[in-house]
Amino acid sequence: MTIKAGDSIPSVKVMQATAEGPKEVDTAELFKGRTVVLFGVPGAFTPTCSAKHLPGFVTQAAALKAKGVDTIACMSVNDAFVMGAWAKDQGITDEIVMLADGSANVTRALGLEMDLTARGLGVRSQRFALVAKDGKVAHVAVEQPGQFEVSKAEAVLAAL
C-alpha cells in the first residue's frame, strides 16, 4: 500500500552517504521532531535525476528552509558509495542528506517500489516527493511513469 497523507513514516534502517563514509540512520529518528522533505529518484546518475530532480532541490534549498523545512533528503535504491559519488559529482554539501536505500527496504515500506528488471535495473523507487512533520506525512506526490512535474522542488514549495 502506498504511503499517504496522515500516515507515519515507517522505522527502517537506511544508509546515509557522508564525507566520513556510510552511516546507518533510522528513518524514524531522521523524521522525529522536524519537518522533512524526502524525494525519491529511480537512480543516481540517471538523466532526469541528475539534470533536473536533484539540482532543483539544491537550487530551492534556501526557499524550502525559509518555509520551515529542517531537512531535505534525497533517496535512491543505490548503495551509499554510489550516493556519495553522486553527491560529489553534483556538488552537494550539507544542503541535502543523501540516503542510500540499497535493498529498497524503505522504498518498499513506503509502497513506492517499481520493478524495472526488464530494463536491467531491478527494483527501484518511483519518482516521488513527500513532506513529513514530526514523522507524519503531510503531503505526498508520486509521478506517473516518465513524468517529472509533481515531485520537483517547485511543486513541493507550492504544497508547503
**The predicted structure's pLDDT at residue 26:** 96
Average pLDDT over residues 134-155: 95
The H or E element that residue 65 is part of is helix 61-66
Burial of 6 (0-12, 13-18, 19+ CB in 10 A): exposed
Give the chain's length.
160
Bridging pattern class, strands 97-100 and 71-76 = parallel
Contact assessment for residue 5 and residue 141, using Cβ atoms and an 8 Å cutoff = no
**The predicted structure's pLDDT at residue 120:** 67
Give residue-wise pLDDT tens across range 28-57.
Answer: 999 999 999 999 999 999 889 899 999 999
Q: Sorting pLDDT into bands at 50, 70 and 90, what band is 124?
A: confident
Give residue-wise pLDDT tens across range 65-118.
Answer: 999 999 999 999 999 999 999 999 999 988 999 999 999 999 999 999 988 877
Inform me whether the pLDDT recorded for 20 exceeds 90. Answer: no
C-alpha cell at 110: 513506503
**The predicted structure's pLDDT at residue 89:** 96
Residue with cell 559519488: 85
Is residue 49 annotated as part of the catalytic site, yes or no?
yes
Inform me whether the pLDDT recorded for 122 exceeds 80. Answer: no
Q: Which of 49, 54, 69, 129 is catalytic?
A: 49
Task: Walk me through the domains of the chain, giving residue ranges and CATH numbers.
Answer: 13-159 (3.40.30.10)
